């Protein structure tokens, strides 16, 4: 077969009458390119996948696509008839990657509710904020989250469904098993839905203050799912991926990253429906266990941030494990070092490395690259999706020519509707329909995008976006902390760790600061490196703290004979 160029492949695959035909339309008041043959809603996506094929495995539990559809219908009926959930109401989910997470998400999005995928690592203060912010009608939570909920100021009228809970419930709640049992004979309710109805809300850490709820529609999400399919087909035509074996059997994925992130939810879970892909859910990330599962279950797809794929490479090499079933080792959330890109190619005999750049606000898509293209451009995030447009602008918003560095802006079918009840944030984020990403990038002559810096004040730790402003706010709640500056510190495994410089009334013992922050911040957001200053922090003429200088000083201290305190 003659190999096509990337542009030739996309033109062929998206032409009129083809499965991935693209057409122009208007959505949310914006002109966009959409897939003519896409499922209209997520409920259609789920229903079209109904079959006896294996779908969700968790430890000794095995559910088929039909099982998940049936149980989702039972829960959906309970949400409508027993809990009074109507179109546009929020249904929050806060738990580990149990099968119930998937069933709850399917149920909520099938009846027109907004599924709020809450960060399961949040502590009581963060959980309480999100509940007050989105005001869900129902919360489905497991034992760990129920115990944190008990320490929260719960919004009036919140109904709680307890999942995999112990005998004694820490809060007033109905048990999931009893709810489903009461609706054992119920079928999936089917209220009228449209592609531009709200479907999900995922909280994303901004550079300042509290996280914001990014709200996306059914069309936004499905555009992202089909964009990945299109890229995969284009990869075959361009020689970046081998064609599928005709008798390869059912594909499978190891779900090792949280479903409350778009990479876990979209790429691992939702993209599995049209491909009829089996998912094996891990309780938590464990590289040793992952290698065993991949070998035993003949996993074909693995996806995770660079820290996770780095762990997998290390254990696979140490154990000389047979992981030849893997055909894809994907990434995202944080950039990979070029050495790791090459290590994936060398360690996994049949797996093509791939990665991409995306955001919660873009529903995980933006750019992508795989196989030989990735190996020859290991520092790149890839080419832009066919349903999106990008541009690079300077500080004044002027569009810059190719190879110039500036802010990456993006628009198209997968871009979120907006932030939940945050008009000021929407006004700041959207410029004439373009989403300001806060990332500094350039595009080379071949169309490959390179992310080189950030404008937003964020730390990306193992794929988790941590808003420096939120961590600073938590630190400033301590009665003896007068000033706080939070920044990223390079880390070999996680990409970045959280560092902080404080001006305090007195030296603060490590244990005291960790305990203080423990109920206010998720564990991953608690600063690992802390320096306490006895003098006010340096500021620029406008009065802002000179963060760049503090970060440089922190790096010098870490390189010296005596490192900062490690919390």
pLDDT digits (tens, 9 = 90+) for 102-153: 999 999 999 999 999 999 999 999 999 999 999 999 999 999 999 999 999 8
Cα separation, 32 vs 46, whole angstroms? 24
Q: Hey, what domains does the chain have and what are their CATH numbers?
A: 6-37+218-403+442-454 (3.40.50.12780), 42-193 (3.40.50.980), 458-566 (3.30.300.30)
Where residue 210 falls among pLDDT bands split at 50, 70, 90? confident
Helix (H) or strand (E) holding 8: helix 6-13
C-alpha span between 287 and 316 (Å, rounded)? 9
The whole-number average pLDDT for the span 366-388 is 94
Burial of 199 (0-12, 13-18, 19+ CB in 10 A): buried
Cβ-contact 236, 226 below 8 angstroms = no
- Residue 57's beta-bridge partner residues? 62, 280
Please report, for residues 83, 100, 186, 196, the alpha-carbon distance to residue 190 in angstroms, rounded to integers and kept in the order given: 16, 20, 12, 16
Q: What is the mean pLDDT of residues 33-59?
A: 98
Cα angle 211-380-267, degrees, rounded to a multiple of 5 = 55
**Which tens digits make up the pLDDT trace of 237-278?**
999 888 887 778 999 999 999 999 999 999 999 999 999 999
Instruction: Give the DSSP letter string of 412-458.
Output: ETTS-SEETT-HHHHHHHEETTEEEEEEEEEE-TTS-EEEEEESS-E
The residues pairing with 369 across neighbouring beta strands, listed in sequence order, are 355
pLDDT band at 189 (very low <50, low <70, confident <90, very high): very high
Displacement of CA 121 from its chain's centroid (Å): 14
What pLDDT was estimated at residue 561? Answer: 47
Length of the chain: 567
Identify the pLDDT of residue 562.
Answer: 41
254 neighbors 299 (Cβ within 8 angstroms):
yes
Helical (H) or strand (E) element with 273: helix 272-275
Average pLDDT, the chain: 92
Give the global pTM: 0.87
- Cα dihedral angle (50, 55, 58, 63), rounded to 10 degrees? 40
**Strand partners of residue 217:** 198
**Cα 144 to chain centroid, rounded:** 21
Name the burial class of residue 423, with classes exposed (0-12), middle (13-18) and buried (19+) by CB atoms within 10 angstroms of its CB: exposed
Model confidence at 564: pLDDT above 50: no
Asked if residue 1 has pLDDT above 80, the reply is no
User: Which single residue is written with the structure tokens 């079959």?
Assistant: 51
């Amino acid at each position: 077969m003659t190999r096509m160029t990337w542009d030739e492949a996309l033109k062929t695959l998206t032409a009129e009458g083809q499965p991935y035909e693209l057409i122009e339309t208007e959505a949310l008041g914006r002109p966009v390119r959409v897939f003519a043959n896409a499922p209209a809603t997520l409920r259609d996506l789920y229903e079209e996948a109904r079959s006896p094929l294996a779908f969700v495995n968790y430890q000794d539990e095995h559910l088929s696509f039909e099982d998940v559809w049936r149980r989702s219908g039972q829960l959906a009926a309970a949400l409508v008839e027993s809990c009074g959930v109507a179109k546009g109401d929020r249904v929050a989910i806060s738990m580990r990657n149990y099968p119930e997470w998937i069933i709850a998400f399917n149920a909520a999005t099938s009846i027109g509710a907004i599924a709020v995928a809450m960060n399961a690592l949040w502590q009581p203060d963060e959980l309480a904020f999100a509940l007050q912010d989105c005001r869900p009608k129902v919360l489905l939570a497991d034992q760990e989250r129920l115990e944190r909920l008990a320490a929260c100021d719960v919004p009036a009228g919140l109904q709680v469904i307890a999942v995999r809970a112990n005998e004694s419930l820490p809060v007033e709640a109905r048990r999931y098993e009893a709810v489903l049992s009461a609706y054992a004979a119920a079928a999936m309710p089917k209220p009228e839905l449209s592609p531009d109805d709200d479907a999900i809300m995922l909280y994303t850490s901004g550079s300042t203050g509290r996280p914001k709820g990014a709200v996306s529609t059914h069309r936004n999400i499905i555009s992202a799912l089909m964009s990945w399919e299109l890229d995969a087909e284009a990869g075959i035509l361009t020689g970046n991926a081998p064609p599928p074996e005709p008798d390869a059997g059912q594909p499978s994925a190891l779900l090792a990253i949280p479903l409350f992130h778009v990479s876990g939810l979209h790429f691992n879970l939702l993209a599995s429906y049209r491909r009829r892909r089996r998912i094996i859910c891990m309780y938590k990330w464990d590289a040793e266990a992952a290698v065993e599962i991949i070998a035993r279950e003949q996993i074909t797809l693995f996806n995770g941030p660079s820290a996770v794929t780095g762990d997998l490479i290390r254990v696979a090499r140490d154990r000389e494990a047979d992981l030849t079933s893997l055909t894809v080792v994907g990434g995202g959330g944080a950039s990979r070092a070029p050495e790791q890109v090459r290590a994936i190619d060398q360690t996994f005999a049949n797996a093509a490395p791939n990665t991409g750049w995306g955001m919660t606000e873009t529903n995980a898509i933006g750019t992508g690259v795989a196989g030989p293209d990735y190996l020859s451009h290991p520092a790149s995030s890839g080419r832009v999706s066919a349903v999106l447009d990008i541009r690079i602008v300077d500080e004044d918003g002027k569009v810059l020519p190719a190879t110039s560095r500036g802010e990456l802006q993006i628009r198209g079918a997968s871009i979120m509707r907006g932030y939940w009840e945050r008009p000021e944030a929407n006004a700041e984020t959207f410029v004439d329909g373009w989403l300001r990403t806060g990332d500094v990038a350039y595009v080379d002559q071949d169309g490959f995008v390179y992310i080189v810096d950030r404008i937003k004040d964020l730390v990306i730790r193992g794929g988790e976006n941590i808003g420096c402003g939120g961590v600073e706010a938590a630190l400033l709640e301590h009665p003896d902390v007068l000033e706080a500056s939070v920044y990223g510190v390079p880390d070999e495994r996680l990409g970045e760790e959280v560092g902080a410089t404080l001006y305090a009334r007195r030296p603060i013992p490590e244990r005291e600061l960790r305990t203080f922050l423990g109920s206010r911040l998720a564990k991953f957001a608690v600063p690992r490196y802390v320096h306490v200053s006895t003098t006010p922090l340096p500021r620029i003429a406008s009065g802002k703290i000179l963060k760049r200088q503090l970060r440089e000083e922190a790096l010098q201290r870490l390189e010296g004979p005596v490192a900062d305190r490690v919390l």
